Chain A
């Protein structure tokens, strides 16, 4: 490819300089040196008190106005041992995204902790651990760092202030003569006190009303590429996951679920199952969506699954819709022709007179999250209390759902959040199906006289057939444009199930019959005259957010169609996008420019048979641009090289940002590969295991170069934003090679 005439390449280093300056001056405005936070009232809660104290405090309405919120109580988040070890409690699920390292980094920064002595642990459904912005327990939307950055800084700063007060009292000096450094309070004359020596005294002090936060230029932990705190444990089999949790006497349960969502039992013969050695009980239980199932409870998983295999169950599927993927596509096509609610409503008259036009239809399949650790949940039940251990992205909702099933009050249920082997949205079940199923099992077991904690464990097939998929979507577009590539009218229709309808988010996110989780990523930031019509058919397949949610399909549609227009009008795909980003969307520009510069796009000559592909997308407040090299080998698309430009503002742990970009991109790559789809036939999911559902393997994986735009603005999240632009960048490269647009996921070049 020739150098792009619209970009002055000699300007690039200078452009980069400007960019850096701009981000620096922004910080000066955003975070004045020694900004003081005013906190009303004072409170006696101190370091080291147990987390539930914070929750108890929050229910004291008299004190509430004059107190810190539970999410602001150091006692719920920080423990300092006499040997100086600092244990930070995480208000999220750690399932790969690295928050169990990033949040302690943020807190340790303001605490001035010795990083080598920092440890971390996961929390519970205690009120202290809600998302400080949303007020519910939530690991999702890539919002941990975004929403808890200030929270964890303030927590660290408060504890530091308390340690300083304790040291001043101990040394009988004015606090202003003291400073802190790497876990130590330093006084004049070379006197030192370790945090461990001070922690107990600091505990007795009131939490300060005002605290000072550091100037970001003084950060020595935040922003530094840092090894994960769990790297050792996760490289030696020592890390404990939900599936590994074991209580004395614990039994394992598996469930025979109906082949069609929502179906019930017609007849059951469990005599052979009961005869299997190790099987303790076979019980009918109510399941999600009005279904009914059979649980087999045994000494271990093997015995339980042997028991399940021996069940003879006839299912009654007469009352439920039996979805068929092929018929569904025809239905969606028909629905797309109907009028429906509109999100954008530009004038479509220019469509008839536009000099150039294109029409496109896209089909996206159902996708399973397929986290490597199958779903599981352990429940210990007594008359007035339930304790639950699970990898939950929504401990509060799961606790509430458990209380409902068990007939307990919410405060009688504790959910202990355990490290998970992935999740990608599946462990934030909008219906709490995992927790509810485990509680139904525990309840039935207790009623049957089994007095033992029970771990529910899904097989891979249960997981793949168990629903809660990324919904299938049909997109249709008719676009009129001129010879310069200016879009004159863009008529777009989306047909797909609503994820948020019926969930706690419906009232915020579903407006005028349109689910924001379906349309996020459409149009913006491009200034396009679009009319967007949305249909949400109701289908008997449970659907859910799946890493990057709506952007899994909207980014593909937007970024490939814009590339088609650029190609049809002989424009460079980079400058075409840059022109539309204008002066306003600087993060998009900077991310794309960085990827372009590092990739050699426009300057280097590609190997024979390779083509360039470009895509940029903002999701969850971060922008990721990819410039990729791909080819077609024996009719199969092959991705060789990915250069990323990432804008997530301040990167708290650049090493994790790099990993998240690689991981999300590879998950995006999976969706392009043949066999990456969930299909249904006569209501039954056709895929059961990894032989039938493709996920990228090491041989599919390209080389990566991840670059982060320098910035000191308040950080945004990176768990998801690396996913959406990968597939369209890959598709654009393939289209440039073959001359044919890619309109189907997974790719089908036939």
Chain B
């Protein structure tokens, strides 16, 4: 049994310590907002926050999360997190999603990035690109991702 803190609640899961967080979330706990894209830390679809930092849950064993706080897309966009709420609102406003499959990961990366900025500072276009380079979108929503992040940042001042 492994005890996990996910979105503020404790979960006892019977999982192999090597099992990636992604599959505990999706298959064991039925939290399907976090997506499977590559399984190899190459696309960012599975991004969650571990103590606020963006990690690829497909390649992070569940044992590494013991004692840390896991935050998933469900929590980040439920309105309780200031930065997450701003990112979520900007994503909707800019109609970023096409198929939408990569967007959980995009939003989790964008939120961690904006939360990491010194308060009041606005990211440059290059910084936004650099922060999001690990997230693939096959539908090619990047232009709106850039716009949404810049917009979200401006509302957080």
Question: A residues engaging B (CB < 8 A)?
Answer: 95-98, 227-228, 230-241, 243-244, 246, 252, 277, 299-302, 370-374, 419-424, 459-460, 655, 659-660, 662-667, 689-691, 695-699, 701, 703-704
Residues of B within 8 A of A374 (CB): 36-37
CA distance A302 to B28 in the complex (A): 10
User: Are the C-beta atoms of A277 and B99 separated by less than 8 Å?
Assistant: no
CA distance A691 to B136 in the complex (A): 11
Nearest B residue to A667 via CB reads B140
Contact residue among B35, B40, B107, B141 (Cβ-Cβ distance under 8 Å from A663): B141
Residues of A within 8 A of B91 (CB): 231, 235
User: Are the C-beta atoms of B23 and A301 separated by less than 8 Å?
Assistant: yes
> Does B98 touch A at the CB level, under 8 Å?
yes
User: Are the C-beta atoms of B136 and A697 separated by less than 8 Å?
Assistant: yes
User: Are the C-beta atoms of B143 and A704 separated by less than 8 Å?
Assistant: yes
User: Are the C-beta atoms of A698 and B145 separated by less than 8 Å?
Assistant: yes
Contact residue among B98, B99, B133 (Cβ-Cβ distance under 8 Å from A373): B99
User: Are the C-beta atoms of A372 and B45 separated by less than 8 Å?
Assistant: yes
Residues of A within 8 A of B35 (CB): 241, 243, 372-373, 421
Contact residue among A235, A299, A421, A697 (Cβ-Cβ distance under 8 Å from B88): A235
User: Are the C-beta atoms of A422 and B129 separated by less than 8 Å?
Assistant: no
User: Are the C-beta atoms of B97 and A277 separated by less than 8 Å?
Assistant: no
Q: Which of B80-99 contact A (CB under 8 A)?
A: 88, 91-92, 95-99
User: Are the C-beta atoms of A98 and B98 separated by less than 8 Å?
Assistant: yes
CA distance A716 to B40 in the complex (A): 39
CA distance A422 to B28 in the complex (A): 25
Q: Known contacts being A235-B92, A459-B39, is A662 close to B140, with CB within 8 Å?
A: yes
User: Are the C-beta atoms of A701 and B142 separated by less than 8 Å?
Assistant: yes
Residues of B within 8 A of A246 (CB): 30, 32
Q: List 22 A-B contacts (CB under 8 A).
A: A227-B95, A228-B95, A234-B97, A234-B99, A235-B92, A235-B97, A236-B78, A237-B32, A244-B26, A277-B16, A300-B27, A300-B28, A301-B27, A302-B19, A372-B139, A421-B99, A460-B39, A659-B144, A667-B138, A689-B38, A691-B40, A698-B133
Interface size, chain B (Cβ < 8 Å): 56
Q: Known contacts being A277-B16, A373-B99, A420-B99, is A235 close to B107, with CB within 8 Å?
A: yes
Beyond contacts A246-B30, A424-B138: 8 other A-B pairs, Cβ-Cβ < 8 A, are: A234-B103, A237-B73, A302-B27, A371-B138, A460-B37, A460-B39, A689-B39, A697-B135
For residue A544, give the distance in angstroms from its CB to the closest CB of chain B.
16
User: Are the C-beta atoms of A302 and B23 separated by less than 8 Å?
Assistant: yes
User: Are the C-beta atoms of B103 and A699 separated by less than 8 Å?
Assistant: no
Interface centre among B91, B98, B135 (most CB of A within 10 A): B98
Residues of A within 8 A of B140 (CB): 662-667, 696, 701
CA distance A691 to B140 in the complex (A): 18
> Does B102 touch A at the CB level, under 8 Å?
yes
CA distance A240 to B38 in the complex (A): 19
User: Are the C-beta atoms of B27 and A252 separated by less than 8 Å?
Assistant: yes
Q: Which of B115-135 contact A (CB under 8 A)?
A: 128-130, 132-133, 135
> Does B43 touch A at the CB level, under 8 Å?
yes
User: Are the C-beta atoms of A299 and B142 separated by less than 8 Å?
Assistant: no
Residues of B within 8 A of A423 (CB): 99
Residues of B within 8 A of A667 (CB): 138, 140
Q: Known contacts being A460-B38, A701-B142, is A372 close to B136, with CB within 8 Å?
A: yes
Nearest A residue to B131 via CB reads A698
Residues of A within 8 A of B97 (CB): 228, 230-231, 234-235
CA distance A707 to B142 in the complex (A): 18
Nearest B residue to A455 via CB reads B27
CA distance A220 to B69 in the complex (A): 48
Residues of B within 8 A of A459 (CB): 39
Contact residue among B33, B107, B136 (Cβ-Cβ distance under 8 Å from A695): B136
User: Are the C-beta atoms of A237 and B139 separated by less than 8 Å?
Assistant: no
CA distance A372 to B47 in the complex (A): 14
CA distance A277 to B144 in the complex (A): 44
User: Are the C-beta atoms of A231 and B23 separated by less than 8 Å?
Assistant: no
Q: Known contacts being A372-B35, A667-B140, is A235 close to B16, with CB within 8 Å?
A: no
Nearest B residue to A305 via CB reads B39
Residues of B within 8 A of A663 (CB): 98, 139-141
Contact residue among B38, B98, B128, B133 (Cβ-Cβ distance under 8 Å from A697): B133
User: Are the C-beta atoms of A699 and B129 separated by less than 8 Å?
Assistant: yes
> Does B51 touch A at the CB level, under 8 Å?
no
